[in-house]
């Protein structure tokens, strides 16, 4: 007797096996049979004729960790077929929190979740306490947690741009080791965000020592994705080489028109590292726009010392002039040449900013867009985010085809209704995987369905050391997505991201139905995954 039987499906196993037609039998949380099972009865039989069944997607780059603490149903994830997220990215994670710097640390997380949305912060201090809290909330997806290096550094020395003392380095190592002991898969850095941006390469290598020799993975939002991309990616690879551990380059992109020709050499850096025997891979989301803090347009030094210092600099006329000169000279953290008509305000405490370009908003006030940006940062207390058009469509196709490229959303857990509908999120939070399958696989033929599935589940599982997920095989956990191949597409746009995709019909998570013919179930069967040392 089976719990669930999926009949007559076009099976894509996530492991590059050519598609085949068959049945899938599920008992408990496991796949127990794959073939024709004419005699075996089941509690629930799903007729998947003319439907594609794939492993649920493993989102290699998710910022949904904060949202899960407030809204564990994770609707925008489940509805695009995601069953596992790798959270704690770009140097940010909900823990560890240090008493001394707690307020500023929580402020730094506000980019990922509006502070008005309630999170049980009183239950979170150490990394272990965060994982306990998350587990008790029963998230609707599996979570593979990373600890953010930015949080570790902030917990030890706040947002100072200074170098750590020997004792402070030891404290950072202790916090990394604690997170790994609790179950973290590794550490992420976000080297354009304070305080991670203040760390030298050698400091990072020293602080991350506990992930050395495969003790954990290293995920890097590199120090630059624009003019300095090649140096930045080389740094990420070097950190992995010196630590003797696997490297994941996050949300790969060559940002800004004058850097588009750097995508190929950046991919070659990854090739060379792999040829030299290093475990280096990357992930990407298939969109031309990025999404981040407006403040990342400022030069690094302007962001040092915590937000109060930054605001003082934004007030003093001579400092303002210096900041603008540096931005014009290409020293901004996220992009070196700003096209103001391609910078759209995605979230702001001033409601009438949202949805307009910085060029438009500056023209409305009859001031220069640099001045407008500095004013807007001051007026909103820095709580202002942007969607910025940075990538070239041809590069997206080139990157998707690269053998070391996986898929990650860089998105958040959202909902089209209720509390979790705020600002203008990047459409990737709703549509990454349906867009990959509809636009790039079916419509443009950039990848085969088998390749897309490998990059969305089999390959990430292999990298993470998840031996029983990411593929459809006997004995594996039953994390599956059933897709109407003719209909699958993303519907979220930059102007209206609050739209769930089409064609993602049914999602099964740990053997439980999470989405049933488009209806979200109340069952939240996500597991907290813990890293097992390889
Ligand atoms: Zn990032």
Q: What spacing in Å lies between the alpha carbon of 90 and ligand 1's midpoint? A: 4
Contact status, residue 225 vs residue 258, Cβ threshold 8 Å: no
Q: Is 276 exposed, middle or buried (0-12, 13-18, 19+ CB in 10 A)?
A: exposed
Contact status, residue 56 vs residue 515, Cβ threshold 8 Å: no
Stated length of the chain? 534
DSSP assignment of 170-234, as one string?
A: HHHHHHHHHHHHHT--EEEEETTSTTGGG--HHHHHHHTGGGGGGTSEEEEE-S-SSTTHHHHHH
pLDDT tens string 459-517: 999 999 999 999 999 999 999 999 999 999 999 998 899 999 999 999 999 999 999 99
Q: What spacing in Å lies between the alpha carbon of 327 and ligand 1's midpoint? A: 20
Q: What spacing in Å lies between the alpha carbon of 105 and ligand 1's midpoint? A: 17
Mean pLDDT of 386-412: 96
Which residues does 317 contact at the CB level (< 8 Å), separation at least 6? Answer: none
pTM above 0.75, yes or no: yes
pLDDT tens string 283-311: 999 999 998 899 999 999 999 888 899 99
Q: pLDDT value at position 39?
A: 63
Q: What spacing in Å lies between the alpha carbon of 305 and ligand 1's midpoint? A: 21
2-55+471-488+502-520 — its CATH code? 2.30.40.10
Q: How confident is the model at residue 36 (pLDDT cuts 50, 70, 90)?
A: low
Q: pLDDT value at position 413?
A: 93
Mean pLDDT of the residues in the chain: 95
Q: pLDDT value at position 432?
A: 98
Residue 23: beta bridge partners? 35
Residue 304: beta bridge partners? none
Q: pLDDT value at position 347?
A: 87
Q: pLDDT value at position 364?
A: 96
Among 32, 136, 141, CA closest to 86: 141
For residues 3 and 38, the model is more confident at 3
Q: Where are the alpha helices (DSSP H) in 225-316?
A: 229-243, 263-275, 307-315
Does 41 score more than 90 pLDDT? Answer: no
Q: What spacing in Å lies between the alpha carbon of 93 and ligand 1's midpoint? A: 12
Among 2, 43, 39, CA closest to 24: 2
Q: What spacing in Å lies between the alpha carbon of 176 and ligand 1's midpoint? A: 20
Q: pLDDT value at position 534?
A: 54
Contact status, residue 291 vs residue 387, Cβ threshold 8 Å: yes
Peptide bond connecting 195 to the previous residue in cis, omega within 30 degrees of 0: yes
Residue 126: CA atoms inside 13 Å, Cβ hemisphere, count? 13
Give percent of the chain with pLDDT exceeding 70.
99
Could you count the other beta carbons within 10 Å of the beta carbon of residue 362? 20
Mean pLDDT of 124-151: 98
pLDDT tens string 114-124: 888 899 999 99
Q: Where are the domains of the chain?
A: 2-55+471-488+502-520, 57-288+391-464, 293-389
The helix (H) or strand (E) run that includes residue 148 is strand 147-148
pLDDT tens string 344-383: 999 898 989 998 999 999 999 999 999 999 999 999 999 8
Q: What are the Cα distances from residue 98, in Å, to 70, 126, 139? A: 21, 8, 25
Give percent of the chain with pLDDT exceeding 90.
89
Peptide bond connecting 96 to the previous residue in cis, omega within 30 degrees of 0: yes
Q: What spacing in Å lies between the alpha carbon of 224 and ligand 1's midpoint? A: 10
Q: What spacing in Å lies between the alpha carbon of 247 and ligand 1's midpoint? A: 15
For residues 275 and 35, the model is more confident at 275
Contact status, residue 234 vs residue 269, Cβ threshold 8 Å: yes
Q: pLDDT value at position 230?
A: 98
Q: How confident is the model at residue 336 (pLDDT cuts 50, 70, 90)?
A: confident
Does domain 57-288+391-464 fall under CATH 3.30.2290.10? My reply is no
Could you count the other beta carbons within 10 Å of the beta carbon of residue 4? 20
Does 193 score more than 60 pLDDT? Answer: yes
């Amino acid at each position: 007797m089976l719990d669930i039987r999926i009949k007559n499906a076009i099976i894509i196993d996530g492991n590059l096996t050519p598609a085949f037609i068959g049945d899938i039998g599920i008992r408990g949380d496991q796949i127990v049979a794959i073939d024709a099972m004419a005699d075996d009865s089941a509690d629930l039989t799903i007729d998947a004729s003319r439907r594609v069944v794939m492993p649920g997607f493993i989102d290699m780059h998710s910022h949904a960790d904060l949202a899960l603490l407030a809204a564990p149903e994770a609707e925008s994830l489940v509805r695009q077929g995601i069953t596992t997220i790798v959270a704690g990215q770009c140097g940010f994670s909900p823990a560890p929190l240090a008493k001394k710097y707690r307020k500023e640390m929580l402020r730094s997380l506000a980019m990922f979740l509006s502070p008005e949305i309630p999170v049980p912060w009183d239950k979170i201090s150490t990394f272990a306490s965060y994982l306990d809290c998350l587990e008790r909330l029963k998230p609707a997806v599996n979570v593979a947690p990373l600890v953010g290096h930015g949080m570790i550094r902030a917990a030890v020395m706040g947002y100072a741009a200074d170098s750590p003392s020997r004792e402070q380095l030891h404290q950072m190592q202790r916090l990394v080791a604690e997170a790994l002991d609790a179950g973290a898969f590794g550490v992420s850095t976000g080297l354009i965000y304070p305080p991670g941006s203040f760390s030298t390469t050698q400091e990072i290598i020293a602080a991350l020592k506990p992930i050395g020799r495969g003790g954990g993975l290293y995920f890097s939002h590199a120090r630059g994705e624009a003019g300095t991309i090649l140096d930045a990616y080389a740094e990420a690879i070097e950190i992995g080489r010196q630590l003797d551990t696997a490297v994941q380059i996050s949300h790969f992109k060559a940002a800004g028109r004058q850097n588009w020709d750097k995508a190929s050499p950046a991919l070659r850096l990854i090739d060379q590292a792999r040829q030299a025997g290093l475990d280096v891979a990357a992930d990407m989301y298939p969109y031309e726009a990025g999404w981040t803090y407006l403040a990342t347009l400022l030069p690094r030094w302007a962001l040092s010392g915590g937000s109060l210092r930054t605001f003082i600099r934004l007030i003093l006329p001579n400092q303002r002039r210096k900041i603008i000169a540096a931005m014009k000279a290409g020293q901004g953290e996220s992009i070196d040449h700003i096209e103001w008509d391609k910078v759209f305000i995605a979230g702001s405490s001033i409601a009438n900013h949202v949805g307009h370009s910085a060029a438009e908003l500056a023209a409305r006030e009859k001031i220069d867009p640099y001045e407008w940006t500095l004013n807007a940062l001051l007026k909103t207390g820095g709580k202002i985010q942007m969607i910025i058009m940075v990538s070239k469509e041809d590069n997206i196709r080139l990157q998707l085809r690269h053998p070391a490229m996986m898929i990650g959303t860089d998105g958040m857990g959202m909902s089209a209704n209720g509390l979790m509908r705020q600002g203008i999120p990047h459409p990737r939070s709703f549509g990454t995987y349906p867009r990959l399958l509809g636009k790039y696989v079916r419509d443009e033929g950039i990848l085969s369905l088998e390749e897309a599935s490998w990059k969305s589940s089999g390959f990430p599982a292999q990298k993470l050391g998840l031996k029983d997920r990411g593929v459809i095989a006997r004995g594996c956990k039953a994390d599956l997505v059933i897709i109407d191949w003719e209909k699958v597409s993303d519907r979220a746009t930059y102007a209206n991201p609050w739209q769930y995709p089409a064609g993602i019909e049914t999602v099964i998570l740990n053997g439980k139905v999470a989405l049933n013919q488009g209806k979200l179930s109340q069952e939240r069967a996500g597991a907290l995954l813990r890293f097992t040392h390889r």
